[in-house]
A and B are shown apart, each in its own frame.
Chain A
Amino acid sequence: MATFADLVNAVQNLLSAGAAARALQLNSATRERAFEAYVFALVLRAVRRAGGNVQIVGAQSGPNPNPIVFRGNPGQMSSRMQDFAYARCTLNSYDFEVHLDVQFQGTSGAIHEIDVSLYDGGRADAIRQTGSIPGVRHLHGAIECKFYDSNLGTGLGRAFVGLLHDCGSVRLDSFATNGRSQALAQYFTQKNRPQPFFVLSPLRPRVADRFVSDVEQCLRKWRGV
């Protein structure tokens, strides 16, 4: 049985690791973007598990870019300022895309930033042609990603529920964080609230697997596979 002394020792061991000091220097933007990219990768894993095909595409360079460039801040789906990457997916003959940090125009007209989004493939091609901000009519999934910090509280859940309310009906809506929050967990227990995933991390493969399975089931139900 774990004791408090075991916990203190484990923390001390971690902080004594050679790369720990450098890892702790990361700024908040780096931490948040890394976590979003992790969730993005888990969604792609779910698409493959559901039997779909996934291809990473660079906005300028096309399929299989190297380097893979992610957005460092929320931006436009049509942006060609950089070779921003997205995933082109096909599931049961339907094309859709998975994006990171893209802005959408809600039903109210307000602009929303969605951390990980699933959007109709054909419509995304049209958006890249016109340069317009995508609406939510063809938005199929919205995942909010939150890196663990002292702000992990009910307000984030409320903000995400508000965002979803302005997005019409999406097939997939989840709140993912690598942290814990009793208040937030309580908030998401209400009916019709998004599915929350706490302590989602590469250090907890079972939680990651549960997330991937949940997304996979959602995709299967949506596309009838």
Chain B
Amino acid sequence: MTVPYESLEELFSRLGSLGAESLADDIRRAIARGTLGQVEVRPRKFEVTQQPFSAEAAYQLAAGMVLASIEPVLIHRDLTREYAPNDQEHVELSWKRDLIEGSPAEPRTDLEIAFPESTEDEIDELRKSASALACLLDEIDNKGE
């Protein structure tokens, strides 16, 4: 049987092993903030409260944030195709800083915008897995509404 608490810890551990500690930290922060709930303070009188996530809901949130983190790579590939004038010609996308000339200080270079090199097959595999997860999250989300 899959236990939510253990699964969440396993996910954090997996993200750590993949070098995504900052994402794991961000997910922890989001989970720790809790969620909105309602309490009945008097008969038929409800007030909104901040409540902790259940372990299952926390995992769901974590899965959504992991999925979102994957999306930029897919977006980059999609836009490269969308802006290409035809199937034969390739268009390159880049992001550059809009800085004032002669500034006495420059920003950190680790914040440069860059996308990893991936093959078409790798992106296709990633998209397939990501789409499956997106469908599942939407199904769970719609069930909860």
B4 to chain A, nearest CB (A): 6
A: interface residue count bin: 35 or more
Once the chains are docked, how many angstroms separate the CA of A34 from the CA of B74? 9
Is A202's CB within 8 Å of the partner chain B? Answer: yes
Which one of A71-79, A161-169, A217-225 contacts B?
Answer: A71-79
B99 to chain A, nearest CB (A): 6
Chain B residues 15-43 with CB under 8 Å of chain A are 15, 18-20, 23, 26-27, 29-30, 33, 35-36
Contact of A29 among B11, B98, B111 (CB under 8 A): B111
Q: How far apart sit A167 and B132, CA to CA, in the bound complex (Å)?
A: 41
CB of B36 to closest CB in A, whole Å: 5
Q: In the bound complex, how far is the Cα of B75 from the Cα of A6, in angstroms? A: 26
- Is B46 an interface residue, CB under 8 A from the partner? no
Q: Which residue of the partner chain B has the closest CB to A79? A: B98
Q: Of all chain A residues, which has the CB nearest B65?
A: A148
B87, CB-defined interface residue at 8 Å: no
User: Majority SS of interface residues in chain B?
Assistant: helix
Cβ-neighbour of A183 out of B36, B75, B78 (below 8 A): B36
Q: List chain B residues, Cβ under 8 A from A37.
A: 75, 79, 93
CB distance from A163 to the nearest CB of B (A): 19
Closest residue of A by beta carbon distance from B62: A11
Question: Which of B63, B68, B125 counts the most A-chain CB atoms under 10 A from its CB?
Answer: B68
Given the interface pairs A4-B59, A38-B75, the reply to whether A201 lies near B68 with Cβ below 8 Å is: yes
CA distance A202 to B82 in the complex (A): 12
A67: B residues at CB distance < 8 A:
91-94
Task: Write 6 A-B pairs (CB below 8 A) sorted by A numbering.
Answer: A2-B140, A19-B118, A24-B19, A41-B83, A180-B61, A203-B127
